[in-house]
Amino acid sequence: MHSNAPLNDPLLTRADVLRVTTLGATKFKELVRVGQFPPPVQITPHRVAWRSSSVQAFIDALPVADAYQDVVNLYDKAETA
């Protein structure tokens, strides 16, 4: 089997991905399911992982908050939910 992934592209576990993206488990599962997060690679029949470059590309594509007030509003919404 041949892969185009560079050797310096480590694989991340689900726990690693949740940590670096700060996504919750439920949201992460949803994003993967609907194709909005990079798919995992199959390591063994019962184990998957994500290429760190794919996760970094997802992070890099996230929009930047328009202003500080947007961040404050997000926290206010989270606190009242």
Residue 68 CA to residue 59 CA, distance in Å, equals: 19
pLDDT digits (tens, 9 = 90+) for 2-56: 566 557 899 999 999 999 999 999 999 999 999 999 999 999 999 999 999 999 9
- Axis-axis angle for helices 14-21, 52-60 (nearest 10): 20
pTM reported for the whole predicted model: 0.71
CB atoms within 10 A of CB 21: 18
What separation in angstroms does the CA of 4 have from each of 46, 51, 58? 23, 11, 19
